[in-house]
A and B are shown apart, each in its own frame.
Chain A
Amino acid sequence: MSQHPAYETDALIAEDIEAYLAQHQNKDLLRFITCGSVDDGKSTLIGRLLYDSKMIFEDQLAALESDSKRVGTQGADIDFALLVDGLAAEREQGITIDVAYRFFATEKRKFIVADCPGHEQYTRNMVTGASTADLAVILVDARKGVLVQTRRHSFLCHQLGIRNLVLAVNKMDLVGYDQAVFDAIVADYAAFAESIGIESFTALPISGFRGDNITAAPSAETPWYSGPSLIEHLETVPLANEAAQERSFRMPVQWVNRPNLDFRGFSGLIASGTVKPGDPVRIVPSGKTSTVKSVVTFGGELEKGVAGQSVTITLADEVDCSRGDVIAAADDPPQASDQFEATLVWLSDEAMKPGRGYWLKLATQTVTATVQEPKYEINVNDPAGVGSHLASKALHLNAIGVVEVHTERPVVFEPYSGSRTLGGFILIDKLTNATVAAGMLHFSLRRADNVHWQPVSTTREQHAAIKNQKPLVLWFTGLSGSGKSTIANAVEERLAHMNRHTFLLDGDNVRHCLNKDLGFTEADRIENIRRVGEVARLMTDAGLIVLTAFISPFRAERELVRSMMATGEFVEIFVDTPLEVAEARDVKGLYKKAREGQLKNFTGIDSPYEAPETPEIRVNTVDMTVDEAADYIVSRILPLR
């Protein structure tokens, strides 16, 4: 059925089994998941991988053939989905309910595949599969293109830190192997991927059913495709496993090993780095230091233990250390905190209860934690806006949100982006013992350290530190109708999504209240800007990022405001729109009035606009969209610390 031969059993097995085994003793291990919408062909693809790599035996194939005829969905052909849909309910309904783990190996690697359900109600199982995966294969039906479930699963994979994404455009046989169909889907997906921060992905045109581009590429049907086959890609994609050795040493202590009075060892799985006898270590959170005496295993003491190994460490000193503590490199230990910001994926039918005590388990630490009302929920349902933010009171089943987590005692942690082990946690309902949420820590909210401060002694640096940001004034200047307010709003929205504390001072709004006594004479316009400058300065003292949208036509006033701010905190943004363009837009009908003489001292008509000579940032609104301008500005002011 495939134009390419399936994997042949290695001739070496029959000829020289010892040589074959020696060769296969040292494979590495890639864990990946397949996900995507219902009926995109996930189970069929896995069935195909197992079949092509000779993991399906004759008796299984015979059973499969008879099952295919009885309940299959492929007519007279073999329905590979029946191989992996293992539960009775799944075979009856023709759907996949739970993550199925499958195993196959090629000459280069051993693979563990988690086949993840496409139905929305089983998103929690998909998260289960994704949490241990190095790579995700996102399947798309070539006839249907990118669907909501495709976006949702891509987003979840990205949230869970999977950096290797494969877009497998499946069922190419059903669209006549048309390159245009493939290219359109890839372009559609690329736009979406970029919008949620996915940096790169690999796209392949395949047919799981016919076997195209699965084991060899290009298939005869897709001569236009120049990339690797799916198997080739899976065999060669670089693994992050060894890279963990390059980071600082951390080992969460699982169990204290005390067979007798002479031996006291600390058992655990090394999360990152390496450990050798003589290495100085620190026990976190206590902060006590010691030196590694030995790295003990059943097979003998090791010269060096590395990330990914389960070992038992003995220390030179009698220091207090027990389950939940983390033994770490003395010069670079992880932090402990009792307040965090985290992304939560809610996995339970019973919605999150803000303020309720849950068990939080992170690595080997279990503590009581409460979750505050979500800062926002991340939209994973609306097809148009996957990744956008929604207001939320509590998270319901399959919802994803950003929350503040408080723990009853400090938890040793690292941001999830740097460590799945010390950044990933689960929440457990204390009554039902169900696992109700998966969490990924962002950073510590250092409020715990700050409550003791006297308000009078709180400096502007402390205000900024609390907000975890560098205060700034983003001063938008430009003609009326140039797009200052619109772009400033778009920038503020992005900063809010990045959890920055901002405030937008808009020209029109300020004139309704603070400056309602001022008119439009040159003197009043200068006073208007001076007052706005003072307010902006106070707000930067409070640690805020202030966005102002004023025409502010005079160079001198803008320089005055600049001089009021701390060095580097004033960012002049010139919204550069030619008069003709702004006048043609005339959103508020003001240019028309000014031309007709009904409006005096209107900038650009009968009052000058002095364009900035060396603004920090210039955006050209003729060539850039609002979003492009906003993205550009945000990119220029990062990292905001």
Chain B
Amino acid sequence: MRFPRKNEPLMKLTHLDRLEAESIHIMREVVAEAQNPVMLYSIGKDSAVMLHLAKKAFYPSPPPFSLLHVDTTWKFRDMYALRQKSADDAGMELLVWHNEEAKERGINPFDHGPLHTDMWKTQGLKQALDHYGFDAAFGGARRDEEKSRAKERIFSFRTASHGWDPKNQRPELWNVYNAKKAKGESIRVFPLSNWTELDIWQYIMAENIEIVPLYFSAPRPTFEYEGGLFMVDDAERLERVLGKLPEITERSVRFRTLGCWPLTGAVESEATTLAEVVQEMLLTTTSERQGRVIDKDEGGAGMEKKKQEGYF
């Protein structure tokens, strides 16, 4: 063992430095050990950070896997606009999956409630993974988002039917990840597990990462629906589904999280810069997923139940 060399001060690594190094290490382990990995890309800010980290992990090579978007056809137009651009910038192939059955049966968020998420996202994801034979899928979930996520491993093992058994998770020691699995089984990998919402925003600022403009406030056409405030992203479609247009008011709004536009609550805001968005987040008194309808189903165990059924 050598003693410290003279005149070499220790270099301090910040929490963001350490989180970045950990995420990159995780991605490289997956690429080294999985046969056919893919990165699930939902176009939100967490996906943006995850994609940026992938570019860093494999530079100067492009990330050696594809991006997969399990689409519901109900995402914001701004999201679709950024989707292809991000893939192109990273030099990656973009795969988009639509659940044909959901499309044929006209499953939509207004008429079908929780079935919309189940058919388009949960079933759609399983179909896509099976179709392409992916054995490892990166997801941008963070442990600070939700109670059952807080207990999930970084390498989360799924049965051949994509089920998650929370009571029988593999122990995860140090940063030694067990990526072994039988044929047909797969692993969901969460490189952002240890990031918090504030970390994500700080990193977006520090690294100048492009995100969907919907995160910033702007005057947007909105309507109230079942106690929530939503944006009219496609008036024609809204009218078709609801039978008539609801009362539309222009408000200065933004989104704390992005999903299907009829399911993603808008918040009234004046934050037009990253710093202002972070400021609003720090001063806010409600949690991030509050704007999303998905967690409130099935009492407190909504997300856990969805995950057991194969949702990401």
Contacts and interface: CB of A to CB of B under 8 A. Distances in A.
Contacts of A88: 300-301, 304-305
B133 interface: no
Interface in A89-106: 89, 91, 97-103, 105
Nearest to B168: A434
A573 interface: no
A9 interface: yes
A59 B287 CA distance: 7
Nearest to B12: A242
B184 to A, nearest CB: 12
B11 A245 contact: yes
Interface in B142-159: 143-144, 146-151
Interface stretch (A358-366, A442-450, A525-533, A583-591): A358-366
A114 to B, nearest CB: 10
Contacts of B71: none
Contacts of A306: 10-11, 13
A274 interface: yes
Contacts of B151: 86-87, 97-101
A368 B23 CA distance: 28
B35 interface: no
A310 B150 contact: no
A18 to B, nearest CB: 6
Contact of A246 (B10, B182, B305): B10
A124 B12 CA distance: 33
B7 interface: no
B284 A57 contact: yes
B178 A438 contact: no
Interface in A515-565: none
A87 B279 contact: no
Nearest to A432: B182
A34 to B, nearest CB: 14
A454 interface: no
A329 B2 contact: yes
Contacts of B20: 310
Nearest to B21: A310
Interface in A243-283: 243, 245-248, 254-255, 257-259, 263, 265, 267-269, 274
A247 B169 CA distance: 35
Given A86-B150, A101-B193, A421 B174 contact: yes
Interface stretch (A21-29, A386-394, A603-611): A21-29
A187 interface: no
B67 interface: no
A308 B61 CA distance: 22
B10 A28 contact: no
Interface stretch (A125-133, A457-465, A476-484): A125-133
Interface in A423-463: 424-426, 428, 433-435, 438
Interface in B13-36: 13-21, 24-25, 28-29, 31-32
Contact of A362 (B147, B176, B199): B176
A242 B10 contact: yes
A67 interface: yes
B127 interface: no
B1 interface: yes
Contact of A309 (B21, B149, B196): B21
B85 interface: no
Nearest to A62: B286
A29 B18 contact: yes
Interface string B283-312: 111110010000000001100110000000
Contacts of B206: 25
Interface string A314-354: 00000000010000010110000000000000010000000
The residue among A29, A241, A428 with the most chain B CB atoms within 10 A of its own CB is: A29
A217 B286 CA distance: 30
A406 interface: no
A124 B169 CA distance: 10
A63 B300 contact: yes
Contacts of A127: 171, 173
B289 to A, nearest CB: 9
A245 B5 CA distance: 10
Nearest to A29: B15
A293 B143 CA distance: 39
Nearest to A429: B180
A389 B19 CA distance: 40
A87 B304 contact: yes
Contact of B21 (A85, A246, A269): A269
A112 to B, nearest CB: 6
Given A101-B193, A105-B198, A435 B170 contact: yes
A194 interface: no
Contact of A296 (B15, B59, B147, B170): B59
Interface in B187-213: 193-194, 196, 198-199, 202, 205-206
Nearest to B28: A254
A364 B32 contact: yes
A58 B304 contact: no
A632 B174 CA distance: 36
Nearest to A256: B32
Contacts of A86: 146-151, 304
A13 interface: yes
Given A124-B171, A347-B171, A364-B32, A259 B60 contact: yes
Interface in A288-320: 296-299, 304, 306, 308-310, 312
B278 A428 contact: no
Contact of B13 (A24, A101, A309, A364): A309
Contacts of A309: 13, 17, 21
A363 B28 CA distance: 13
A425 B180 CA distance: 15
Given A27-B14, A246-B10, A17 B286 contact: no
Contacts of A105: 196, 198
A426 B21 contact: no
A312 B172 CA distance: 25
Contacts of B60: 257, 259, 263, 265, 296
B144 A103 contact: yes
Interface stretch (B41-49, B50-58, B242-250): B50-58
Given A20-B282, A26-B12, A306-B11, 5 more contacts: A21-B205, A29-B18, A86-B149, A269-B25, A269-B175
18 contacts: A14-B279, A17-B276, A21-B275, A25-B16, A25-B202, A29-B15, A86-B149, A102-B150, A132-B175, A241-B18, A245-B10, A274-B8, A304-B11, A306-B10, A309-B13, A310-B21, A310-B57, A424-B173
Q: Which A-B residue pairs are the 5 nearest by beta carbons?
A: A86-B147, A310-B24, A17-B279, A298-B56, A29-B15
Interface of A: 9, 13-14, 17-18, 20-21, 24-29, 57-60, 63, 67, 83-89, 91, 97-103, 105, 109-110, 112, 124-125, 127-128, 131-132, 241-243, 245-248, 254-255, 257-259, 263, 265, 267-269, 274, 296-299, 304, 306, 308-310, 312, 323, 329, 331-332, 347, 359, 361-364, 418, 420-421, 424-426, 428, 433-435, 438
Interface of B: 1-4, 8, 10-21, 24-25, 28-29, 31-32, 55-62, 143-144, 146-151, 166-167, 169-176, 178, 180-182, 193-194, 196, 198-199, 202, 205-206, 275-276, 278-279, 282-287, 290, 300-301, 304-305
